[in-house]
Amino acid sequence: MLIERDPDENVWVTYVPTLGQLSTYGDTRAEALEQTREAITGYLEAAARDGIPVPPPDADTEVVELEVVAP
């Protein structure tokens, strides 16, 4: 899961790339995380109900922070 602040909308936005780019948001970081938890739970329940396979986490994916100094 990725989380970032959207300063234009003044919300926290989350993305779950493994689950078809599932995304949600919240006014606070904690609210965004709770919304994401609920969205993931709903996704997994619907996938189980409808027989849709849930993709395993991609072992080749890595999140890396990179600091860049602007010229």
Domains of the chain: total: 1
Q: Is the pTM of this model over 0.85?
A: no
Res 43: pLDDT? 93
Domain containing residue 62: CATH number? 3.30.160
Spans of the chain below 70 pLDDT: 58-59
- The domain in which residue 18 lies consists of 1-71
* Strands (E) located in 1-71: 2-6, 11-16, 22-26
Res 24: pLDDT? 96
